[in-house]
Amino acid sequence: MTLIKRKQISLYEEAEAGLNSLVKQTAQVGAGLLMMLLLTGGNPPAFTVGLSVVGGIAFVAWSEEKRLTKFYVRQSPIPSSPESTSQVSIQNYIKQILEANTNNLSELVKQAGLNPYEDLAGADLSSVKGIGCKLSRFNLSGADLTQADLSRADLSFANLSNAKLINVKLCRADLSSADLRNALLMDANLSFADLSDANLSDADLINANLTTANLSNANLHNANLTSTNLNNAQVENAQFGKNAGLDEKAKYELKRRGAIFPQDELIPVQV
């Protein structure tokens, strides 16, 4: 793991950088407006003026987002060598990256010198807010994501085996083909989540909300489904078996919707 040494940027330096950026952006927008006036002979149509104003605002917003992303990466110090690196500081830094509210998460991770396939495993990320984050194929095995908000996050093919996901928000998240073996998902909100082809074997889903979730082709062998809400969940070809919390009526209802159970578990339901 290679970590980049960064220096804390003072508030004064940030204010100065912000002012310089604003002056530069104003000059660029002004040059663009001047060019528009020259091209239209000094009498531009209202539509052109409006379009230019909107374009100028969009340019300034994009420039500021790019500048602040770079500033954010620089301002969080990371120790320079594995010997001087504490696990706590790395975990805090990862939390800050996930909560950066940026679409450039992968770039932030890369610039920070973090390896998404190694450095997040076992990390304490409890209560982190990573709404809409792109974490596809990340290794979060054994990580503590208790009470985290990962709604709409892309966790497809992610490794979440043995992860602590108690009371986590994963509504509308993409967990397709994710590895969730032995994960603790008590009280988790997985409504409308895509769990197709996911491995949930031996997972603890006590009181989890899986309403309208896509569980097609998922593996739920030995998963604890006590008080799990599976209303309207898609279960075509989902593999069940030895599930605590499922009575015979629930099993037959799931089988009727396309779920697969071992034949020796199915007993005719008494109507």
pLDDT band at 15; cut points 50, 70, 90: low
Taking the C-alpha atoms of residue 210 and residue 216, their distance in angstroms, rounded to an integer, is 13
Range of the domain at 152: 116-271
Q: In total, how many domains does the chain have?
A: 2
Distance of CA 231 to the CA centre of its chain: 25
- What does the pLDDT look like over 136-160, one tens digit per residue? 999 999 999 999 999 999 999 999 9
**83-87, 206-210, 244-248, range with the lowest pLDDT:** 83-87
Q: Is residue 239 one of the residues assigned to a domain? A: yes
Q: Give the model's pLDDT for residue 73.
A: 45
Q: Is residue 226 one of the residues assigned to a domain? A: yes
Tell me, yes or no, whether 60 and 99 share the same domain: yes
Per the CB < 8 A criterion, the answer to whether 192 and 171 are in contact is yes
Average pLDDT over residues 81-92: 51
pLDDT band at 50; cut points 50, 70, 90: low
Tell me, yes or no, whether 238 and 186 share the same domain: yes
Instruction: Kindly tell me if the per-residue pLDDT of 2 is higher than 50.
Output: no
The type of residue at 193 is A
Tell me, yes or no, whether 190 and 230 share the same domain: yes
Average pLDDT over residues 228-256: 95
Taking the C-alpha atoms of residue 88 and residue 66, their distance in angstroms, rounded to an integer, is 28
What is 64-80 written as a DSSP string? Answer: HHHHHHHHHHHHS---S
Tell me, yes or no, whether 120 and 213 share the same domain: yes
Q: Is residue 158 one of the residues assigned to a domain? A: yes
Q: b/e for 20-43, b at 16 or more Cβ within 10 A?
A: ebeeebeeebeeebeeeeeeeeee
Tell me, yes or no, whether 77 and 149 share the same domain: no
- What does the pLDDT look like over 223-234, one tens digit per residue? 999 999 999 999
Tell me, yes or no, whether 94 and 136 share the same domain: no
For the chain, what is the mean pLDDT? 78
Q: Is residue 108 one of the residues assigned to a domain? A: no
Q: Is residue 164 one of the residues assigned to a domain? A: yes
Helices 11-39, 46-75: inter-axial angle, 10-degree rounding: 160
The type of residue at 242 is K
**7-16, 99-108, 237-246, range with the lowest pLDDT:** 7-16
Q: Is residue 110 one of the residues assigned to a domain? A: no
Q: Is residue 45 one of the residues assigned to a domain? A: yes
DSSP SS3 for 228: coil
Tell me, yes or no, whether 76 and 167 share the same domain: no
Tell me, yes or no, whether 127 and 35 share the same domain: no
Angle at 84 between CA 3 and CA 116, to 5 degrees: 35
Last residue of one domain, picked from the residues 103, 131, 150: 103
Tell me, yes or no, whether 157 and 243 share the same domain: yes
Instruction: Kindly tell me if the per-residue pLDDT of 85 is higher than 50.
Output: no
Tell me, yes or no, whether 31 and 56 share the same domain: yes
Q: Is residue 109 one of the residues assigned to a domain? A: no
Tell me, yes or no, whether 134 and 90 share the same domain: no
Tell me, yes or no, whether 187 and 260 share the same domain: yes
Q: Is the pTM of this model over 0.85?
A: no
